[in-house]
Amino acid sequence: MKIVFMGTPDFAVPCLKTIAESGHQLSAVFTQPDKPKGRGYKMIPTPVKAAALEYGVDVYQPLSLRKGEDAEASMKILNDIAPDLIVVTAYGQILPKEVLELPEYGCINIHASLLPKYRGAAPINWCILNGETETGVTSMQMSEGLDTGDMLIKKMTKIGENETYQELYERLAAMGGEVLAETLDAIENGKLNPEKQDDSLSCYSPMIKKEMSALDFSKTAEEIHNTIRGVTGFTMLEGKRLKIFRSMISDKIAPEAQDGEIVNSDTFTVKCGDGGLVTFLEVQPEGKKRMKTEDFLRGKKLTKGEKLG
């Protein structure tokens, strides 16, 4: 099959590699425009562009596929290629109807959740924030709705109780390549069994906002822990911002302490709203590098009874 791939972040790279290293023809790659980064504002290619160039594939970076000169030029490119299939993974643009209907086998999307749950932009974050114990990857026949198309192949995985967003992201990225390989084989062999989504079982996972990382110690220990796992938490310690990257829920409780109070200064354990305790395992003080809590505590003496926030 002639395949066009559309994707942008590193999450999409395993899917690109799956196509490039298969027996199929990777005819072109579409990705978001390069963005300036760092102090020198140097233009940095997207991870998908960098990977595509390693394979010598033509890369296109339109600002939009839906309107303007870029959309017209992109449509001409796609018509000239006449792909049998378009594969989309975390592209970051909505495809117009004329693109969805162009290939013989349509467009398929590799989505990082067990659809129909967690449609939208941030399914990995939200499944952790909501305390889910399992998730996965779904390949889906794309339609004009947001992640509403027929499901094709699903692969499930358990979520570790202390697993962070980044760790799960990397696992699901690799799984995305595996699901895509199975989907391509099923298309080629005529063995796909599309399954309609039950809209009543769906929920939306919107973009993550920075303020969601602020830790509210009136919440339960589980909610605090899941915030740290899902979006990286932050609080204030002695008037300075402290990021928390990793935590665990203690098996002890301290109902007599105040919310946000440090109840164990040797392990950096803090009391939450339900009386439960969360221990911080990896932190980043303001203006310093990320470090294990044991290293942080070598240079910073905490006081039992001190309050965060």
CATH assignment of 210-299, among 2.60.40.10, 3.10.25.10, 3.30.590.10, 3.20.20.80: 3.10.25.10
pLDDT attached to residue 41: 83
- 103's tokens: 């290939």
- 78's tokens: 């796609």
pLDDT attached to residue 240: 96
Assess whether pLDDT exceeds 90 at residue 37.
no
pLDDT attached to residue 9: 97
User: Which residues, 6+ apart, have CB-to-CB distance to 65 below 8 Å?
Assistant: 30, 71, 74, 75, 93, 94, 95, 96, 99
The answer to whether 19 and 57 have CB atoms below 8 angstroms apart is no
- 252's tokens: 């002890």
Assess whether pLDDT exceeds 80 at residue 39.
no
Q: What is the pLDDT of residues 231-282, one digit of tens each?
A: 999 999 999 999 999 999 999 999 999 999 999 999 999 999 999 999 999 9
Alpha helices in 130-240 (DSSP H): 165-188, 221-231
What are the structural domain ranges in the chain? 2-114+134-197, 210-299
CATH assignment of 2-114+134-197, among 3.40.50.170, 3.40.50.2300, 3.30.930.10, 3.40.50.80: 3.40.50.170
Q: What is the pLDDT of residues 118-152, one digit of tens each?
A: 999 999 999 999 999 999 999 999 999 889 999 99
Q: What is the pLDDT of residues 98-121, one digit of tens each?
A: 999 999 999 999 999 999 999 999
pLDDT attached to residue 200: 96
Peptide bond into 62 cis (omega under 30): no
Q: How confident is the model at residue 38 (pLDDT cuts 50, 70, 90)?
A: confident
* Topology agreement, domain 2-114+134-197 and domain 210-299: no
